[in-house]
Structure 1
């Protein structure tokens, strides 16, 4: 057999593999899309999104979720969307991805730890490594002109949902992880503070204070604005509840996210469930 013939057979074989492989994905996707079309006909739904596995565990451990009898879930693009009822409200639940990993969640022998203060010259003097910049985000929305972005730095949750959430202040929350590990003070629900989102895990008291003094923010996370921007861009109401597990560097000693992360998750799940209970059925998609 000539070299040309061998090459032709190889190309045909590769082509067959590519066609078969590519065609297999649309079949699975079409199956999921068919289920989605059926689910959509039963809507509208509340979308409930958590970030961490501890939050998901806290939510489902209280047994508030009743699976849909026909379509308890649908898998799409690597995610599992669970369909059901919570407090007589139609809900679709999914856990989104976590932001960039912090040093606290990565074994120390896997990464180098950069202590910026070691680079100050003279010791404790001005740091010339660089600066942190802030800019507005380009925001496209259903209510805007096509291909014309608004420059926005602050995004507002849906006002009537925020007003409803104020009734949750005063809720009794859990103080202890177990009998030997408790917070120094009672946790509480605080509504209406400014939050911030970035792709870094904040564990630095000076930077935390800088954010508060310059932007008036009281929390720092790595996911909320993405969820909020996506919802508002498509014209849906949205509200964010976050359970704060640490002081972003303001603590004495190591960061407490590993100690109190599960407690923050269980408390925020409790608050969200109460909010869903208070939300009128006809108010799901009203601003």
Structure 2
């Protein structure tokens, strides 16, 4: 999740991914909104920044035994997550067995500009303790009012060559989940081979087993905030930004579907 401004929506204004060629940020927000509302999700406007709405969605199912939180787009130079999430929504991956909380695009101004940070220069994914940014202050307040059993966040990394993920697990350690994730991803993307990823030692290739304490005490990411708020298990998925966008989108979709099969 290191910052690189190689993907500049402020210049291209397109995502360039299959049927999504020509889609702008507002169109992507509207497309996600249509799909979620068509499924019966309740929309809440968390805030509006520079003309972009940031929504949180709640989709409660009467017979569900688990509640899943799903987010993407917190870093604007990581477009594969929001694009993958839209495709997953269209494919109705939010199945009837779970209730859902969804935040499709948390940093629309960064996505528009192609920058990791928002329009004010804040790295939103380091602001969940201090809540200095309007986006995170609004989002954190919303999170405080929800309860989820499992969380998935979609990210990218300009410095990796393969897929990797963070696992924050305050429940029973189940290493077999990793083997099943690798098996699911193998036809699409290899796991990151480095033994040190973003200054973290890996447990196995592409698997960072992270505690619920932040790396930087004053700079909390979303996943740590979720853990502190009571979410016992979360996966943060990372695809390598150097690879073709359509492949990164596919890898995120495969990983989300696999995680839901494995963990729910």
Normalising by structure 1, we get a TM-score of: 0.36
Higher relative contact order (CA 8 A, sep 6+): 2
Structure with higher Rg: it is 1
Which structure has greater strand proportion?
A: 2
Normalising by structure 2, we get a TM-score of: 0.38
